[in-house]
Amino acid sequence: MAKSIVHEIPTPEAESPYRPRQPYRFSTLCATVDNPSLKDQYGSSSVPIYQSATFKGVNGQYDYTRSGNPTRSHLEHHLAKISSASHALAVSSGMAALDTILRILKPGDEVIAGDDLYGGTNRILAYLTTHGGVIVHHVDTTKPDSLLDYINPDKTAMVLLESPTNPLLKIVDLARIAADIKERAPNAIVVVDNTMMSPYLQRPLEHGADIVYDSATKYLSGHHDLMAGVITCNRDDLAKQMAFIINAAGNALTPFDCFLLLRGTKTLAIRMERQQATAMLVAQMLNRLGFKVHYPGLANHPNRDVHERIADGFGAVLSFTTGDKAVSERIVGATRLWGISVSFGCVNSLISMPCVMSHASIDPATRAARGLPEDLIRLCVGIEDPADLLDDLERALLEAGAITLTAGADSHQRYVRTIPSEGTAISRAVQKLAYNESAGYMTKRETEDREWFVSAPGKVILFGEHAVVYGVTAVAASVDLRCYGITTPRHDGKVSVHFVDIDGITQEWEIDDLPWDAVTPVPVGDAHPDVLDSKLVDAITTRALSSEVLEKHGARQACIAFLYMYMIMAHGKSRPSFNFSARATLPVGAGLGSSASFSACAATALLILHSRIQLPALPAPTTDEHLHTSHEGRRAIPPALAEEVNRWAFVSEKILHGNPSGVDNSVAVFGGALSYTRAGFGRKPGMVPIQGFKSLKFLLTDSRIPRNTKQLVAGVAALREQDPEFVNGLLNAIQHISDEAQRALADPELSREELLAALSALIDENHSHLVKLGVSHPSLEAIRYKTASPPYALSTKLTGAGGGGCAVTLVPDNLSDSSLHELMGTLSTDSFVPYFTSVGGSGLGVLSPYNQPQPQQPATPPETPRGTDESLRDVFVSKATSEFSEWASGLGRWLYV
């Protein structure tokens, strides 16, 4: 129950000097809206809504509502009065309040914040770290000493606190931390999010805070019918600075919402008193039944003495665990009065499961590391009759099987918890979550001893090169030449790479020495921002790479891409120690998507080792005689997993190339064939898989002539500017070729012979247009001449940027093996490097872990075709390129997208 607090707030004096008035109590302050400096001319008992954008006159108190409004002035005066504050500012939401406060910071400032903050607070701090040059340290603020190592008198600019935390109701000693900060970093600003308590129960300004903010959507309003945020402080300089920001940004609260919030605050005291009184009854009932309850009002709640020292009550939010997630879900679904919803502070009671709802974006391992149980239920108590709420909850517990009716020693029947202790089922569930071993999935964290072997195909652009830049549809397909990656465990606190095809470069790092201070991790399940974290890229480049690597562009970019993903994917306390080796059977730098296939391999390996994706388990047989059809591993990797890999492969491609289209990495992950149209040119943009694509045979010939893609693209742009009619005509012709190729490739009624004839003609026509655009090269024309000469008569075109690189030659089904080998020999004699391959095959592949032996265990033929004493990496590095694909395929069953 709240104390009857006496506030040192000025109260109007009585007319008689013989009986002076006593200071008003809090509930009186809430109900009494009185601003002596802003009297209503008509004496209205309720503050009017000044629903006006502008005010007439010159040099008046108000001119434009963004800058000031009488209704908002009344509200802010009232909020300051009940918050022990000299200043109050009303804005459009709680996050708008925090945004206003954080704008005080400047690049280079350091912020100390809790490690258990509201999700929106985490997001905006992460944004500031990435885009604002602000350094954020997340620490356990429930232990005041944990902040001391991070306090820097010259750099610490702000400390951001919450108490109690949500949803575990952890208590933070606001007074002690504020005193420590003022002693060690006098210029630092102590900011407290007071939403869970409201000014009725806790006024952090009285305990040393400089700024306090509330999401007034919650208790201050109390009805969930408006969005609002409130900032209070006592320092004139901070108030002036934040008022300027609000006026400049235009996020002040509207007059009508000010009216609603002012009306809500009048009943704050009576609502909070009823809500926390009922919350205590609910907590006591659950505690009596044997559940683990988190509520500061219970005698056994950690740091309860601290809370009683800094607060006037225990609040109306509590949480409890059942010992079984399924039971918790049944409880939530069985209630009637308790509405299933996020948020809190409403007059209506709410129930939720944070790990399924408000905290679902945090991966299970991180939730387990933070001690956030999967079976946790949060209750936000309203103003309904306590008996009704208790009865509804008890009925839900009984219906869910969480409690049962039994006879006690005194022969009286009573409800008891059906799960006697919490240390059995739930501890096993949390342990499983910590290792991401929930049903149907497997991946173990930190003690990973497997070697993960992954691969991804290269790509060939069949039609639409260069024209794709101007909105023409490109048709691309995967090739059977692939990039391969393998991770080998180290467990020595180091991470290393070996890029066999990039000057054979090797690089090793001490994990703890990497620039972790520059990292803003991407939470599991969240997408990487559209823009790369330039701060992290710069930190890796300047602080992590050796001079040898910096001198070699390809090796430098590959190392940056690998480390960038390794660091930004890290979550919880896991930083796996391993070696990543990569090599390819496709030519590197020849326009066949080698960088994209590398990106797909690196992204897959890192996602697995960071436990951000899990491979599906083997399906259980329906009978003893059930036969699993292997499909040679095709479609074994589900689409959702492939999409996640593709998103991260695109991040890697951005580091490697700056502004990729996304075609190459999509083909590397999904395989097959697709069409791609760039946005902004009048056609429907995006990538569309070509369904029913039939595998085709091609000869890919590397001219061994380096390309300058930027120069070639710039050349086409210059030609288009000089003669737009000519170039636009060529672009339209190439669009028609792409359209016809898509129809032919997807037509199930077209015979194989007709398809090959159509593609042959389209290849010749497409190449002729590319020659007119000036992007061919004598070496490519020489390849084209040889393949078109008798007896071969094959169709060849350049692929990719042109100007060197590779040529692609369609190989018909009736070309004999002897003729093919003869042609390849002729090309090799002229110093070209030919590759015979199929186009349109599988995408991303992972060697199935189910046929790999566990460490220190004997092999079990025939499921495991290799011995346990041999490291895959040793053979991976030394195997000849000509033998590599066959060796990799023979290791066991591969799983493909």
- Which positions are annotated as active-site residues? 66, 118, 193, 218
The DSSP output letter for 168 is T
In this structure, are residues 359 and 372 in contact, taking their beta carbons and an 8 Å threshold? yes
Interhelix angle 709-722/724-746, rounded to 10 degrees, is 120
φ, ψ for residue 214, nearest 5 deg: -130, 145
229 within 8 A of 246, measured Cβ to Cβ: no
Nearest to 281 by CA among 394, 372, 377, 373: 394
Give the Cα separation of 495 and 478 in Å (integer): 31
Q: Residue 330 and residue 204: Cα distance in Å, rounded? A: 38
Can the peptide bond before residue 791 be classed as cis, meaning omega within 30 degrees of 0?
yes
Q: Are 442 and 553 in contact (CB under 8 A)?
A: no
Name, in order, each residue with C-beta under 8 angstroms of 172's C-beta and a sequence gap of 6 or more. Answer: 114, 141, 142, 161, 162, 163, 164, 165, 306
Distance of CA 434 to the CA centre of its chain: 19
CB atoms within 10 A of CB 294: 21
Q: Are 194 and 202 in contact (CB under 8 A)?
A: yes
Side chain identity at residue 149, one-letter code? D
The reply to whether omega before 685 is within 30° of 0 (cis) is: no
CB atoms within 10 A of CB 824: 17
Here the tokens at position 256 are 């009508």
Alpha carbon distances (Å) from 681 to 167, 626, 676, 684: 49, 53, 13, 8
d(CA 370, CA 374): 11
| Cα separations in angstroms, 210 against 8, 161, 175, 234, 370 | 18, 12, 12, 7, 29
Instruction: Give whole-number Cα distances, 351 to 3, 337, 643, 839, in Å.
Output: 28, 9, 33, 54
Q: How far is CA 729 from CA 7, 680, 715, 720, 772, in A?
A: 81, 19, 17, 10, 11
CB of 242 within 8 A of CB of 231? yes
Q: For residue 478, give Cα distances in angstroms to 70, 369, 460, 668, 755.
A: 66, 41, 6, 7, 18
What end-to-end distance do the CA atoms of the chain give, in Å? 60
Structure tokens at 128: 């500031």
Give yes or no for a contact between 197 and 315, defined as CB atoms under 8 angstroms apart. Answer: yes
| Phi, psi dihedral angles at 808 (to 5 degrees) | -115, 135
Residues in the chain: 897
State which amino acid sits at residue 453: F
Strands 578-584 and 494-499: parallel
Say which residue the tokens 């235009």 belong to: 250
**Long-range pairs, 178-185, Cβ under 8 A, ≥24:** 178/207, 178/208, 178/209, 179/208, 180/144, 180/147, 180/148, 180/151, 181/147, 181/151, 181/156, 182/208, 184/148, 184/151, 184/153, 185/151, 185/152, 185/153, 185/156
Q: What does the DSSP 8-state code read for residue 48?
A: -
